[in-house]
């Protein structure tokens, strides 16, 4: 199944092309062909009928996918040029080998476009992965994290991450893929694509990890107060836009950690929670003025960058004491003055 729409310049309207694909295969060659723009060959190694499944979501140059195979397969070739891919097993029987390294379910594998794929997938292998343009990831980590992630990942096909980092990364990718696959039309909105893109990039950075923490000690209390004041000024000026932490980092020229510590010290609230509250209020204003015959909770949540509907409903109810659907229904019965 595939779907796509045309672009629009309005950040609250239909945006760039997106697609969702689901496939079931009965042949290793068919499975290899599922990853479009990848030049690869699959060789079935164990006897028996081959069965494979594949699901993929694409938007803004990002490829989020899950691949399941029942037979052991030797995979060779080249991944999509210009991208960096990170994948983590969901399930597997036995041990696989990726670029000469043994892997288990606690491994995060990575490659860059142009690297040669050499992977022996074990039987009943299930993997979830994300592929992002190198320039997008590099710019993100430079601007938001003040890191050179490509330098960190050089000659590192298997990332040395803690089990907690691996579990978090796997869980996030699975949640994102499942949530968006239920309502793929939400990807027609620019804010939705932007929010999910930033969440995926952040998950990649966390998966890579870093032990040093320079931001905690470098900014003085006066500097942190100034950072928060500038951030609040910017948010007030753009109150009708679905801002993200990444937007603030770029505007203020500070790292995510510096912004985090500044908000925590000055407001006793992290910037993610602060921005979520602003976006919830923006969604509430839109729900209250919506035409119930033409707009849905799903549409309005996506317009404000909420890609996980159940989390949106939970956060909304916690903030306002009612579900977003109740606010929307109330919009068609405005209170009358008596």
pLDDT tens sequence across 281-321: 999 999 999 988 888 999 999 999 999 999 999 999 999 99
74 to 46, 114, 115, 172, 271: CA distances (angstroms): 10, 19, 16, 27, 45
CATH number, domain 213-331: 1.10.10.60
Query: In CATH, which superfamily holds the domain spanning 18-191?
Result: Jelly Rolls (2.60.120.10)
pLDDT category of residue 242 using cuts at 50, 70 and 90:
confident
- pLDDT, tens digit (0-9, with 9 covering 90-100), for 90-99: 999 988 999 9
Dihedral pair phi/psi, residue 32, rounded to 5°: -60, -35
Question: Whole-prediction pTM value?
Answer: 0.84
The C-alpha atoms of residue 165 and residue 207 are separated, in whole angstroms, by 6
Q: What is the pLDDT of residue 49?
A: 97
User: Residue 229's pLDDT band (boundaries 50, 70, 90)?
Assistant: very high
Contact indicator for 54, 25 with CB cutoff of 8 Å: yes
Distance CA 185, CA 18 (A): 9
Beta bridge partners of 110: 86
Residue 191's closest CA among 67, 116, 282, 271?
Answer: 282
In sequence order, what are the residues at sequence separation of 6 or more whose Cβ sits closer than 8 angstroms to the Cβ of residue 204? 86, 130, 132, 137, 149, 169
pLDDT of 216 above 60: no
Section 66-75 average pLDDT: 97
* Count of helix runs (H) and strand runs (E) in the chain: 13, 12
In the block, tokens 């080998």 appear at: 97
pLDDT tens sequence across 106-119: 999 999 988 889 99
- Ranges of CATH 2.60.120.10 domains, the chain: 18-191
């Amino acid at each position: 199944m595939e779907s796509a729409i045309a672009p629009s310049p309005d950040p609250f309207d239909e945006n760039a092309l997106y697609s969702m694909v689901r496939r079931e295969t009965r042949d290793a060659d068919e499975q290899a062909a599922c990853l479009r723009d990848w030049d690869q060959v699959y060789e079935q190694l164990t006897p028996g009928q081959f069965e494979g499944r594949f699901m993929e979501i694409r938007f803004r140059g990002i490829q989020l996918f899950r691949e399941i195979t029942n037979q052991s397969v030797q995979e060779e070739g080249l991944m999509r040029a210009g991208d960096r891919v990170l994948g983590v097993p969901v399930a597997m029987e036995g041990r696989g080998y990726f670029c000469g390294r043994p892997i288990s379910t606690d491994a995060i594998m990575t490659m860059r476009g142009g690297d040669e794929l050499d992977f022996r997938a074990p039987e009943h292998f299930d993997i979830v992965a994300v592929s992002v343009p190198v320039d997008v990831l590099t710019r993100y980590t430079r601007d938001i994290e003040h890191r050179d992630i490509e330098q960190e990942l050089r000659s590192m096909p298997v990332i040395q991450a803690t089990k907690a980092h691996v579990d978090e990364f796997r869980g996030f990718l699975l949640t994102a893929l499942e949530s968006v696959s239920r309502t793929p039309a939400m990807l027609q909105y620019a804010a939705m694509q932007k929010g999910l893109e930033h969440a995926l990039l952040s998950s990649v950075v966390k998966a890579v990890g870093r032990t040093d923490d320079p931001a905690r000690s470098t900014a003085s209390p006066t500097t942190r107060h100034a950072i928060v004041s500038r951030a609040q000024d910017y948010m007030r000026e753009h109150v009708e836009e679905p801002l993200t932490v990444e937007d603030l980092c770029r505007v203020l020229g500070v790292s995510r950690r510096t912004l985090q510590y500044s908000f925590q010290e000055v407001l006793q609230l992290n910037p993610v929670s602060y921005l979520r509250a602003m976006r919830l209020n923006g969604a509430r204003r839109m729900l209250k003025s919506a035409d119930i015959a033409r707009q849905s909770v799903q549409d309005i949540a996506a317009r404000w960058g909420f890609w996980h509907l159940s989390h949106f409903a939970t956060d909304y109810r916690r903030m306002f004491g009612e579900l977003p659907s109740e606010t929307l229904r109330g919009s068609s019965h405005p209170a009358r003055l008596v």
